[in-house]
Structure 1
Amino acid sequence: MVIRYDARLNLLVSTKGHPFDTAAFFAMFDAMKGMTWTHVEQPATTALMSPEGCADFGALLFYDVPGLQFRTPNPPDLIEPPEAFKQDFRALLDAGKPMIFLHHAIAGWPLWDEYAEAIGARFFYQPGSYKGRAYPDSGYVFPATYKARPLADHPVLDGLEDGFELTDELYLFDTLEDDILPLLAADYSFDREHFYSAANALNARMWTRDDWDHPPGTNLIAWAKRSGKAPVVTIQCGNDGATFGNPDFRRLLRNAIDWVTSDEAAQWARNAA
Structure 2
Amino acid sequence: MARSLLVLSGGHPYEAEPFDAFIHALGEWDVTHLVHPEAETQVARGAADDADALLFYDMPGYTFGEGEVAIRPPDEAYTDALARRFAAGRGALALHHALAGWALWPRWHQWLGGRFFYRPGEWESDPVPDSGYRHDVEYTARVLADHPVTRGVSESFDVTDELYLCQIDESAVTPLIRAEGFGFTRDNFYSAANAVAGDMFSREGWNHPPGSNLIGWETRAENAPLVYLQFGDGPETYANPHVRQIVAQALDYIAGEQP
Q: TM-score, normalised by structure 1?
A: 0.90
* Contact 1:155–1:259 (CA under 8 A) maintained in structure 2: yes
| Residue among 66, 69, 87 paired with 2:63 | 69
| Residue among 21, 24, 45 paired with 1:27 | 21
Tell me how far 1:104 sits from its aligned partner: 0.5
Show the counterpart of 2:219.
225
Matched pairs, number: 258
Show the counterpart of 2:154.
161
Tell me how far 1:41 sits from its aligned partner: 0.8
Tell me how far 1:134 sits from its aligned partner: 1.6
- Alpha-carbon deviations, 1:73-130, whole Å to 9, x = none? 22x1010222222222222221122111100011111011101111111110111123
Show the counterpart of 1:270.
none
- 1:143 maps onto 2:136 in alignment: yes
Amino acid at match of 1:169: E
* Cα 1:108/1:174, change in 2 over 3 Å: same
CA distance in 1, matches of 2:33, 2:66: 27
Show the counterpart of 1:184.
177
CA distance in 2, matches of 1:57, 1:181: 24
- Name the stretch that deviates more: 250-259 or 157-166: 157-166
Structure 1 gap ranges (5+) = 1-5, 266-273
| Residue among 31, 41, 46 paired with 1:37 | 31
Query: Stretches of 4+ moved more than 6 A in 1?
Result: none
- Alpha-carbon deviations, 1:18-63, whole Å to 9, x = none? 1111111110122233222110011222223359432341111011
CA distance in 1, matches of 2:256, 2:105: 29
CA distance in 2, matches of 1:89, 1:34: 24
| Residue among 245, 248, 251 paired with 1:257 | 251
| Residue among 9, 12, 15 paired with 1:15 | 9
- Alpha-carbon deviations, 1:211-235, whole Å to 9, x = none? 0010111100000111100111000
- Name the stretch that deviates more: 82-91 or 195-204: 82-91
CA distance in 2, matches of 1:52, 1:141: 36
CA distance in 1, matches of 2:44, 2:86: 10
Let me know the Cα RMSD of the aligned residues: 1.7
CA distance in 2, matches of 1:110, 1:225: 19
Amino acid at match of 1:224: E
CA distance in 2, matches of 1:80, 1:141: 27
Amino acid at match of 2:88: A
* Contact 1:151–1:184 (CA under 8 A) maintained in structure 2: yes
| Residue among 42, 51, 57 paired with 1:57 | 51
* Contact 2:159–2:237 (CA under 8 A) maintained in structure 1: yes
The within-5 A match list for 1:70-89 is 70-74=64-68, 76-89=69-82
| Residue among 236, 245, 269 paired with 2:239 | 245
- 1:207 maps onto 2:201 in alignment: yes
Q: TM-score, normalised by structure 2?
A: 0.94
